[in-house]
Amino acid sequence: MGAHQWSTHAITVSADRVTKRFLPAAHERAAREWRALTLLDRYAPGLAPRPYSREMSADARPVVAMSLLPGVPLRGAPLDGERVACLAKTVQALHEALPADVLAEVPMRPDREPVIVRRLRGWAPRVRGLVDAEVDAVVVAGLAWLDASGLDRTERPAVSEVFGPGDGNLANYLWDGSRVRVVDFEDSGRSDRAYELAEITEHVASWVEHPLDVRAFLAHFELTAAESARLRECRRLIALVWLFLLAFEDPAARRNPPGTVRRQADRMLALLG
């Protein structure tokens, strides 16, 4: 499969191997992918693809080869209670896969809150008027919340750290009929549970077609009071990101059904309420 215009890589698949060819400037992404695959193969074998080989020459596109996992993506199909429970079990296993001393040596995942806050503020002037007055009003409310949230502070949150895959797209979670496995670790790194759960619950893939039962999914996690409070704020942040991204979507080249941005505005308002 070739790389789409929004992709960071192209993938080729053989009988038992997946080869991921990154864009020329994506060496950090390839390095994160390889680090995650090797660590998970050591500490949680079977949860993710096995790493086969890598090519990281500075003069060529980085390449990572890995095993081909069985299963179909959770995105695009109804998620019954069994699949939701298995997804939660896999996410929990992924978060807890690395011993504390190993996790401490893993760099922080990219796109943490201060980066996202700066990005949203940079996008703000461009998003006004792109859809309609109702969406504009939600954007204004979201930005007002953002300014008061304090999420642009650089200190670490007072919650336990976990290993995070860095992408909440349910297309990266493969169901084989009995368990869920995970692919795509190019944005992975050290993170925290609330942030990673928000990535899943607020990703457009979790609701635009066959909605994930967020309440049932989150019920599988025993969150501390601090994690619960942080989860609420992280969900708002990521929902605001998606509101902007959907507003920017080209009507002539839609990736999502018409009206998705208005549905996202409703989700944003519900999270702010």
Tokens of 246: 């959907």
Domain count, the chain: 2
- Domain limits at 113? 70-272
C-alpha–C-alpha distance, residues 189 and 186, integer Å:
9
pLDDT tens-digit profile of 91-116? 999 999 999 999 999 999 999 999 99
Model pTM score: 0.93
Do 109 and 55 reside in the same domain of the chain? Answer: no
Average pLDDT over residues 66-86: 95
Do 55 and 134 reside in the same domain of the chain? Answer: no
Q: Phi and psi for 71 in degrees, rounded to 5?
A: 120, 170
Do 78 and 51 reside in the same domain of the chain? Answer: no
pLDDT tens-digit profile of 3-23? 333 467 789 998 899 999 999
